Amino acid sequence: MPWVSLSKRLRLPGSSRTSQAQDLHQQLWRIHKDEFMGSIAIMRYNLIQLFLQNEQSSHLRKMIVDLEVPRFDSGCQFSQDPAISYIWSEKNLNDDQRRAILKILTAKDYALILGMPGTGKTSTMVYAVKALLMRGSSILLTSYTNSAVDNLLLKLKAQVSILDASIRNLLL
């Protein structure tokens, strides 16, 4: 019979002190992993990593704690980058969307897309994701709501038929 060590005594509701041990032994117990505690452990680990004394942690501290402005590559070869050529040639983008995507493509650290509802953030991100996939980049999309990420993925899926075959394979 397996044993589990607990920090507090178990007590069944309605059980008397005299029959408590007997009542506990007669119960069938199931142990579930507590996802909340697991996520707290991950957050604690990430915080520890943030304050380690190495170059990567120092850079992360500057961005997250000191709010250092993200860096962008201003010297890249625009004419030789198919992702940037794609963005310049895309007729469905307005100037603000095009500038936002170019910032994403030249980001060394991170890029944030912020805007009021209905300003075209999701559409902009669809084109940004396609451009990043052309480069073979890794992409992390986050949002305050799951529905925003779902909407983006649905728009990407709707355009899969018109995407280049190599990009289509990355999305599927």
Cα(55)–Cα(165) distance, rounded to whole angstroms?
39
My answer on whether 145 and 107 are in the same domain is yes
Burial 74-106 (b: 16+ CB within 10 A, else e): eeeeeeebebbebbeeeeebeeebeebbbebbb
Residue (of 135, 155, 150, 142) closest to 111 by Cα position = 142
pLDDT of residue 117: 85
**Residues with pLDDT less than 70, the chain:** 1-4, 7, 12-15, 17-21, 23, 31-38, 75-79, 160-172
Range of the domain at 162: 82-168
DSSP assignment letter at 160? G
pLDDT of residue 84: 86
CB 124 within 8 A of CB 156: no
My answer on whether 29 and 95 are in the same domain is no
My answer on whether 157 and 88 are in the same domain is yes
My answer on whether 106 and 47 are in the same domain is no
Non-local (6+) Cβ contacts of 92 within 8 A are 123, 127
- Residue 10 belongs to some domain of the structure: no
My answer on whether 42 and 115 are in the same domain is no
pLDDT of residue 171: 54
Residue type, 92: N
My answer on whether 50 and 95 are in the same domain is no
